[in-house]
Structure 1
């Protein structure tokens, strides 16, 4: 409950507070709730798929009334940001050569020349 002071009597009047979930559900005629739900389920799928944590951040942005008029409407917006896990990138192993360049073959390893053996169609009897 929030309390407001009545300016004429000075008495404190208790006002029931609406749940923020109810606000999100009704914002933009339910479109915000649908979009947040879709993002939430995409996040759940990504976490399950990749086995890593993720997050969904919901920000409610409230602007002051226009021209400081107390009875003017207050613009309220809802923003969201999803940090879904991604697959771990595939890595490959490289060595650094004498110039510091990445190469696939170990530059310290002695090279052995390979050649293809000639094909032989005859079989040796034992």
Structure 2
């Protein structure tokens, strides 16, 4: 039997702990605020939303192996918005949007005279 060196599994970085401690907790606070705002918008508008968190890791400066790694965290929120109110339009002969149907005959209206006398039936 040959003794093979036992290889220790590499310790993994805990992403939740990293985000909680990044920039002394400021990143965690900002992400939590954005997440809460997203939840409110989804509940209010009944539509789906999205929060993207991007961790950016750059190589060490000048390729020095023992140099520190610059790590940044960015986030992007796509919160749902209310559905805009629409209005109906017709296209006129020039192709411009107009409120009244250009094919419809116009009827002139007159104002009726006001009266306070009523006829008994």
Question: Structure 2 length normalisation: TM-score?
Answer: 0.90
Match of 1:44 in 2: 39
Question: Structure 1 length normalisation: TM-score?
Answer: 0.87
**Which of 110, 113, 121 in structure 2 is aligned with 1:115?**
110
1:43-122 alignment to 2 at 5 Å?
43-122=38-117
- Pairs aligned (count): 117
User: Structure 2: how far apart are the matches of 1:70 and 1:109?
Assistant: 79
* Structure 2 unaligned blocks of 5 or more: none
Which one scores higher on RCO, CA 8 angstroms, separation ≥ 6? 2
User: Structure 1: how far apart are the matches of 2:106 and 2:71?
Assistant: 69
User: Structure 2: how far apart are the matches of 1:68 and 1:12?
Assistant: 28
Q: CA deviation at 1:120?
A: 1.5
* Structure 1 unaligned blocks of 5 or more: 1-9
1:17-36 deviations in Å (ceiling 9; x for gaps) = 13111100000011100100
1:19-34 alignment to 2 at 5 Å?
19-34=14-29
Q: Which runs of 4+ in 1 moved over 3 A?
A: 10-13
Q: CA RMSD in A?
A: 1.5
